[in-house]
Amino acid sequence: MPRFIIVFLLLVVACKPKGTPPPTPYGPVPTPAQLAWHRMETNAFIHFSINTFTDLEWGMGSEPESLFNPTQLDVKQWVSVLKGAGFKGIILTTKHHDGFCLWPSQYTSHSLRNSPYLGGKGDIVKALAEETRAAGLQFGIYVSPWDRNHAEYGKPTYITYYRNQLQELFNSYGPIFEMWFDGANGGDGYYGGANEKRSINGATYYDWPTTIAQVRKMNDQVIFFSDAGPSVRWVGNERGVAGLTNWNTISVDTLYAGKAGIEGLLNSGAEGGTSWIPAEVDVSIRPGWFYHAKEDSLVKTPQQLFDIYMSSVGRGSTLLLNVPPDRRGLIHERDAESLRQWRKLLDETFATNLAQFASVSASNVRGNDTTYRAGHLLDNDPDTYWAADEGVTTDTLNFIFNDNQRPKYVMLQEAIQFGQRVKSFEVQVLDGDWYTVGTGTTIGYKRILPIEQYGVLELRIIIKESLAAPVLSTVAFY
Ligand code: FUL
């Protein structure tokens, strides 16, 4: 080929306009570990300890280790029930407020080492961590900062004890995907025999920044839960209900775990908050967190669990559902059955995505570039997305079905790696005229909106307000 042709071709390639660059992230965005956590959607919580044998929710710390004696404990059963229900991770109460440890900690005698369980040779943290990972699920731990057994609680030496235990747990049982710092703190306790009330200053006593830095040295991917994050926040109630408006952002400057009066803020987050700290919805399948035989008839029904799924995952949060094993050391038949039927209900409800029968167009596409086309909303790929032009904050997405369809739910997802943006939207169907069948505020990782059911050929989603140009990865109809 003559040289001038080669030079010409090279010039053509060099001058070809490059595609439109991806959207600029707006505000705080999730870390890769937080993004992975969002995608887990549902995790299981396990409250199991000496309280299981005393019928208490909060042990005083004086309970003799001899009481801890599950006779048929089977972590394989736990994991198989929980995996069958679709959970992606399991978080275990390794130590609750009473201080009893489910692993043979070298820093205290108040553990299963001094119980009859397996002749003191058991290690439930190890057994569950291994079984969980063998099943392809992730393992997390709850380690209560408040310790009603420890003689030094309230003094700086207790903080050293607590940190030593975290070292033990992270080094022996990792990788740990999530670590739970409970906000309940201080009060009456056994405290090594002192039997008194001890109050601490929740804002300063634990010196969390140092503890967190120490844990991050052992595992820089771990998700820290507490009222104030730093990775995920409490949702402000234990009923399973995230805010209808649910920002993943919040400003933590004056927040700390256990601070009173912040439930509303935690429930809905803060528009324009300075950190990405999404809400986690923790709720129990029974009235209590620990197993009590008297609550066997009060296990939440599949429909109640479905409603909780809708008010947690369906509002952009992650669900952490507690399923407490009984005194045998097994998940009770009633809980297992309820979970099975719940899973069935979810699978049936979300079996057929009617979007497969639809085509979509958008009123605006970023740079008119096919990289950001509306078709990505329907391609089942969480990594592709539709985006509007910078500065365009109201848009209409138009869906045309190939045949009459009757969707009951609209599911939307923002591509949150670019930040959370949408502030209000509306769903309309065409039936001669356009009718509004549902309205919503924030979307975030996922929003499942129940809509008024109509037989429709054409439906549109109007994004009425957005903090920046909307970027959505998925729209689905069920
Ligand atoms: C609370 C604790 O006091 C409860 O016992 C339970 O562990 C719940 C998940 O967190 O703050």
Q: Is 237 in the pocket of ligand 1 (CB under 6 A)?
A: no
**What backbone torsions phi and psi does residue 467 show, to the nearest 5 degrees?**
-70, -25
pLDDT of residue 203: 83
Beta pairing class for 358-362 and 318-322: unpaired
pLDDT of residue 385: 98
At 202, the pLDDT band (50, 70, 90 cuts) reads confident
Share of the chain above pLDDT 90, in %: 90
pLDDT of residue 229: 87
pLDDT of residue 261: 82
Least reliable range by pLDDT among 4-8, 354-358, 464-468: 4-8
pLDDT of residue 3: 66
pLDDT of residue 15: 47
Average pLDDT, the chain: 95
Mutate to test the pocket of ligand 1, among 238, 282, 321, 323 (most ligand atoms within 8 A of CB): 238
Stronger pLDDT, 336 or 186, i.e. the higher one: 336
pLDDT of residue 36: 98
DSSP 313: G
Least reliable range by pLDDT among 80-89, 195-204, 326-335, 399-408: 195-204
Rounded to two decimals, what is the model's pTM?
0.95
Residue 10, pLDDT > 80, answer no
Residue 212, pLDDT > 50, answer yes
Hey, how many other C-beta atoms are within 10 angstroms of the C-beta on 68? 24
Mean pLDDT of 292-308: 98
- Given the candidates 3.40.91.50, 3.40.50.1000, 1.10.20.10, 3.20.20.80, the CATH classification of the domain at 32-349 is 3.20.20.80
The ligand 1 atom at the shortest distance from the C-alpha of residue 290 is 5
At 190, the pLDDT band (50, 70, 90 cuts) reads very high
Residue 1, pLDDT > 60, answer no
Which of 431, 472, 470, 429 is CA-nearest to residue 451? 429
The ligand 1 atom at the shortest distance from the C-alpha of residue 45 is 9
pLDDT digits (tens, 9 = 90+) for 159-173: 999 999 999 999 999
pLDDT of residue 228: 82
The ligand 1 atom at the shortest distance from the C-alpha of residue 93 is 7
Residue nearest to atom 6 of ligand 1 (CA): 289
Residue type, 329: G
Stronger pLDDT, 203 or 163, i.e. the higher one: 163
Q: What distance in angstroms lies between residue 229's CA and the mean position of ligand 1's atoms?
A: 16
Q: Is 118 in the pocket of ligand 1 (CB under 6 A)?
A: no
Residue 262, pLDDT > 90, answer no
Residue nearest to atom 2 of ligand 1 (CA): 184
Residue 366, pLDDT > 90, answer yes
Residue 254, pLDDT > 90, answer no
Q: Parse the chain into domains and list their residue ranges.
A: 32-349, 354-477
Q: How far apart are CA 451 and CA 447, in angstroms?
A: 12
Mutate to test the pocket of ligand 1, among 239, 289, 290, 319 (most ligand atoms within 8 A of CB): 289
327 contacts: CB under 8 Å, gap ≥ 6: 52, 53, 70, 71, 291, 293
CATH 2.60.120.260 describes domain 354-477: yes
Q: Are the C-beta atoms of 321 and 44 separated by less than 8 Å?
A: yes
Residue 422, pLDDT > 70, answer yes
pLDDT of residue 279: 98
Directed axis angle between helix 124-134 and helix 75-84, to 10°? 40
Q: Is 184 in the pocket of ligand 1 (CB under 6 A)?
A: yes
Residue 260, pLDDT > 90, answer no
pLDDT digits (tens, 9 = 90+) for 264-286: 999 999 999 999 999 999 999 99
Least reliable range by pLDDT among 251-260, 282-291, 428-437, 469-478: 251-260
pLDDT of residue 4: 58
Residue 7, pLDDT > 80, answer no
